[in-house]
């Protein structure tokens, strides 16, 4: 598999993502359902704690990726849904730091929503990974 990152500008570098990923020769593609701050029983946890929810959401996403033989570095797209964009950006370092450290160079969107599946959820992340 080959990945070509396309960035006609540089401003996105500050936010830790890329404008486009061109993939050729991929053998496997994984489409992940939205992951949130849920415990092993599926219950939403850490109500009101955006930083904690970011961490647990990434833990859960990493568990799904790992179970399928992928890692954060294999992610090509993330769609991030949050109930409070400003609060997400206040804790952005907890999000992008972990992904950047793992070599994640994703495209995607950040979308503010009124609510998620459970009222306690503040963040949900969908991912696409290739290998």
Domain residue limits, the chain: 27-130
pLDDT at 23: 92
Indicate yes or no: pTM above 0.95.
no
Q: Residue 42: CB partners within 8 Å, gap ≥ 6?
A: none
pLDDT at 121: 98
Question: Mean pLDDT by 10-residue block, N- to C-terminus, for the chain (131 residues)?
Answer: 93 93 92 96 97 98 97 98 98 97 97 97 98 93
Whether 62 contacts 125, CB under 8 Å: no
Whether 46 contacts 53, CB under 8 Å: yes
Topology at the third CATH level for domain 27-130: 60s Ribosomal Protein L30; Chain: A; (3.30.1330)
């Amino acid at each position: 598999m080959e990945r070509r990152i396309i960035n006609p500008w540089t401003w996105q570098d500050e936010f830790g993502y890329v404008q486009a990923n061109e993939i050729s020769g991929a053998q496997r593609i994984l489409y992940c359902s939205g992951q949130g701050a849920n415990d092993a029983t599926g219950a939403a946890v850490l109500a009101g704690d955006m930083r904690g929810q970011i961490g647990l959401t990434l833990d859960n996403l990493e568990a799904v990726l790992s179970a399928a033989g992928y890692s954060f570095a294999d992610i090509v797209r993330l769609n991030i849904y949050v109930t409070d964009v400003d609060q997400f950006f206040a804790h952005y370092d907890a999000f992008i730091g972990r992904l950047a450290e793992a070599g994640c160079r994703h495209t995607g969107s950040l979308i503010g929503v009124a609510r998620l599946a459970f009222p306690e959820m503040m963040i949900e992340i969908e991912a696409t990974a290739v290998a």
